[in-house]
Chain A
Amino acid sequence: MQMQQNMPTSTPSKRRVLGPCSHILAAAHTGSWRLERPSVDESLCIRCGTCARYCPTACITVSREGSPLSFDWTYCKGCGICANECPKKALKMIPEGSDD
């Protein structure tokens, strides 16, 4: 494989980019944007998967057994689409940092 030329940017001390090619799959910590988080009422949830289908960050996992929904809090942006789309209104948005 041909090696990319190592080209420093205008602030070489802070960051060095390797040519014009991206070669690392990385992610932004989008969970830090969250002001509200979804909270599930487990008695209402019918495990239909609508929230997981419409979640922009795909951070909802629906399981058949046990607790119906699990969230990936590293990436959940707290947009509220899951709570708005839930056909049974089992999800509601609560302020980040509150208990229930």
Chain B
Amino acid sequence: MLTYKVQPKGAVSPGISTCQGCMIDVIFRNVLEIMGDDTVLVVPPGCAAQFSGTGPEASVTVPGIQGNLENSAAIASGIANGFKHQGNDHTKVVAIAGDGGTVDIGLQSLSGAMERNENILYICYDNEAYMNTGIQGSSSTPLAASTTTTPAGKKVYNKDLIQIVMAHHVPYAATASIANIPDLRKKVQKARDIVGCRVLHIMSPCPTGWGYPSGKTVEVAREAINCGAWVLLEYENGKVTLGREPSELGKAEKYFSMQKRFKGASEEEIAAAGRHFAERYEYLKKLSAI
């Protein structure tokens, strides 16, 4: 049983040592509020691990387990199957992992869980590098972004997780952003009521790793949507639905100039990134028209 030293806010402890300006608390609070108390949480190491607590101290009121980076989807599948064999069809299993634990290291276990269509909700909060261990580049790091392992800027594009997920024909997948909390809540709500493997990919800018003042987190996330760096979409039963059209599609200058990680980006790289955003959006638009 949990001893309450403090009054939780929703299902999350009020004071968590995430960085100033980090919106991961908001993701956890909203997700756990919608999923309800009858939820089991799986988190791998990373910034999200602060929600699994340290020593005897917990940070969330729902039961959870901290696994390894590579197997959060596998642990969640195991828990979901255990419940199924007990005849428990009401407890929800939620895995919340970062981009390193999803796009790089945990991709095989997620792929397996999606292929078997396990009854789990997998959430990837994407801060586009391994922020917790000191800003190492991941395969979610975008072109020209400087990290400690790509100090001169990354030379290649990032992996497109949502298209990898869509290629697995899961019942529900969506991208969301912390710049649009009502949309995020709507998608989590939709995912809660669907049986099967649901995947949510949520953008969560990192003030420490991206290099902007902590107050501008939501502004940066909103600008990413405006220039097409982040596309809000839903994939349901094979049908793609796009969100509102970006107002400045392909114009990456403002988004790049807001962040110190793009300080070394050349004009060509900014133009190439903008073209990439526009081309990707056009491709997704064609996909949504099918």
**Interface membership of B87, Cβ < 8 A:** no
Interface residue B134 (Cβ < 8 Å from any Cβ of A): no
Q: A17-B56, A25-B61, A53-B181 are in contact. Are A78 and B2 (CB under 8 A)?
A: no
Question: Majority SS of interface residues in chain A?
Answer: loop
User: Which B1-42 residues have C-beta < 8 A from chain A?
Assistant: 1-6, 8-10, 12-18, 20-26, 29
Q: Which residue of chain B has the shortest Cβ distance to A80 in the bound complex?
A: B215
Which listed residue (A26, A33, A58, A79) contacts B57, Cβ 8 A?
A: A26
- Is A57 an interface residue, CB under 8 A from the partner? yes
Chain A residues with CB below 8 A from B5, complex form: 24-27
Q: How many interface residues does chain A have, given as a range?
A: 35 or more
**CA of A1 to CA of B6 in the docked complex: distance in angstroms?**
24
Contact code string A1-34 (vs B, CB < 8 Å = 1, else 0): 1000000010000010110011111111111010
Give the interface of A toward B (CB within 8 A): 1, 9, 15, 17-18, 21-31, 33, 53-59, 72, 74-75, 77-81, 83-85, 93
B residues within 8 Å of A by Cβ? 1-6, 8-10, 12-18, 20-26, 29, 52-59, 61, 181, 207, 213-219
Q: List 6 A-B contacts (CB under 8 A).
A: A25-B4, A27-B14, A30-B15, A56-B26, A57-B15, A85-B218
Q: 17 new A-B pairs (CB below 8 Å) besides A25-B4, A53-B181? A: A1-B1, A18-B56, A25-B8, A25-B57, A25-B59, A26-B13, A26-B58, A27-B15, A54-B218, A55-B26, A56-B26, A57-B9, A58-B12, A79-B207, A80-B21, A81-B21, A81-B217
